[in-house]
């Protein structure tokens, strides 16, 4: 049976190897999951084990769920969940509250009966229904639709109310894992590790096992321990972060990125700016006018070995980039574009990470201007975007 399951996953374009399949079999033989006290196997337990052993990238979780459901439950074969339901069928008008006695009297179908009945309703129903117990609609006690009550049904449209749905029509889209999803600190760290260049520096802290073996052998078998400095990531990063204004919407994600960067890179320097870089930046937002760091000094202080990373939504008036005096806070003598060009010239390995969704970039004139200034080296704050940024900076 599991051979067919393996080929089902491969047919769904999942990168599942024979080695991973054998790992699943070994886990089953070892009793990682198995019959419960009533000698019944739990499909949920097997699902968790199969996903753990066979899926190595969370962007493939949704594809695995669909293939698993098609193979073990026949969901995709019973009802076409890609079909669109007329919007008018799902427009909620009635708000019916049932008594506990009425709810207790409503029977529930098992999985197969529920799916077969849904398929039949899709074939038969031609118009909108509301408040009933049979058709796809709103209100009432039908197991298909939303806004009503049923102890076990398929929610179609709307939002959850009683949390009793065994399947949600849109769930595949809502739960899709892909490389554009927002990141947590852990995933950011994994992406940042693509930009690594290790070097041994500092005091002798680690055992050099190969050299110890060679020295011991050359010393007629008498132990001769050799130590070496610990290996550290030797990459140098200059991080410039936009703060305030429209960036307030992205505080949590940028904080996660900042936390991960501080953990991953030993040689890190950071400064803040607002909207666009001008003739000064700062390190402490509470004292940003009292403790200024001239941009010229920053350019001169750090050499070309540093990787320059801008973090900002690049959302502002075009005048803030192109005009002297365009800053919203003070009268800058030179346009921001001049400073961006100086920085990117001083640090050839540079990139811009933008927390704004990439789909809206084309509608922001300022984003287009900055992309042109930095030669298109802008990526979104997503798993794929960070990986592309690290790959670009590694060249």
- Claim: this prediction has a pTM higher than 0.85: no
**Coil, helix or strand for 294?**
strand
pLDDT number for residue 353: 94
pLDDT number for residue 75: 39
Q: Is the pLDDT of residue 200 over 50?
A: no
Q: Highest-confidence range of 66-75, 103-112, 203-212, 285-294, by mean pLDDT?
A: 285-294
C-alpha 145/C-alpha 214 separation (Å) is 73
Give the pLDDT band (50/70/90) at residue 199.
very low
Q: Is the pLDDT of residue 190 over 60?
A: yes
Question: 173-184, pLDDT tens digit by residue?
Answer: 333 333 333 456
Q: Is the pLDDT of residue 236 over 70?
A: yes
Quickly list H helices, the chain: 2-11, 18-29, 43-54, 61-72, 75-78, 100-104, 111-124, 171-174, 185-192, 209-218, 251-264, 295-301, 319-322, 336-346, 365-373, 383-394
Identify the weakest region by mean pLDDT among 142-146, 322-326, 353-357.
142-146
Give the pLDDT band (50/70/90) at residue 163.
very low
Left, alpha or beta for 277 (phi > 0: left; psi -120 to 50: alpha)? beta
The yes/no answer on whether domain 234-394 falls in CATH 2.60.40 is: no
Average pLDDT rounded to a whole number, residues 249-267: 85
Residue 27 or residue 177, greater confidence: 27
pLDDT number for residue 43: 72
**C-beta of residue 234 within 8 angstroms of C-beta of residue 198:** yes
pLDDT number for residue 191: 65
pLDDT number for residue 232: 56
Q: Is the pLDDT of residue 164 over 60?
A: no
The residue extents of the domains of the chain are: 2-72, 87-174, 198-232, 234-394
Nearest to 394 by CA among 232, 207, 197, 254: 197
pLDDT number for residue 179: 37
């Amino acid at each position: 049976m599991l051979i067919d399951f393996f080929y089902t996953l491969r047919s769904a374009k999942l990168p599942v190897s024979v080695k991973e399949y054998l790992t699943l079999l070994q886990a089953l033989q070892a009793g990682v999951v198995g019959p419960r006290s009533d000698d019944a196997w739990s499909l949920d337990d097997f699902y968790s084990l199969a996903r753990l052993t066979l899926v190595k990238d969370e962007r493939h979780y949704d594809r695995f769920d669909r293939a698993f459901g098609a193979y073990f439950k026949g969901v995709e074969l019973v009802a076409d969940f890609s079909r669109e339901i007329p919007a008018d069928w799902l427009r909620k008008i009635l708000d019916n509250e049932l008594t506990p006695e009425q709810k207790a009297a409503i029977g529930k179908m098992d999985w197969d009966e529920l799916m077969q009945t849904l398929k039949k309703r899709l074939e038969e129903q031609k118009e909108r229904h509301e408040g009933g117990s049979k058709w796809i609609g709103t209100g009432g006690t039908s197991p298909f639709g939303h806004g009503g009550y049923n102890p076990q049904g398929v929610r179609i449209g709307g939002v959850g109310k009683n949390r009793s749905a065994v399947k949600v029509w849109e769930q595949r889209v809502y739960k899709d894992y892909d490389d554009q999803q927002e990141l947590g600190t852990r995933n950011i760290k994994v992406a940042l590790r693509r930009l690594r260049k290790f070097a041994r520096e500092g005091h002798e802290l680690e055992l050099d096992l190969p050299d110890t073996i060679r020295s011991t052998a050359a010393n007629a078998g008498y132990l001769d321990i050799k130590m070496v400095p610990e290996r550290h990531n030797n990459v140098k990063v200059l991080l410039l972060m936009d703060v305030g204004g429209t960036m307030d919407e992205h505080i949590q994600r940028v904080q996660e990125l900042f936390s991960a960067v501080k953990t991953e890179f030993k040689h890190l320097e950071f400064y803040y700016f607002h909207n666009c870089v001008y003739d000064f930046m700062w390190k402490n937002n509470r004292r940003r006018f009292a403790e200024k760091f001239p941009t010229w000094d920053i350019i001169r202080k750090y050499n070309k070995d540093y990787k320059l990373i801008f973090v900002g939504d690049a959302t502002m008036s075009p005048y803030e980039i192109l005009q002297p005096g365009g800053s919203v806070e003070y009268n800058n003598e030179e346009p921001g574009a001049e400073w961006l060009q100086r920085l990117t010239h001083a640090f050839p390995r540079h990139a811009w990470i933008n927390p704004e969704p990439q789909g809206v970039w084309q509608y922001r004139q300022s984003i287009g201007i900055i992309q042109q200034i930095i030669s298109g080296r802008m990526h979104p704050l997503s798993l794929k975007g960070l990986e592309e940024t690290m790959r670009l900076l590694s060249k």
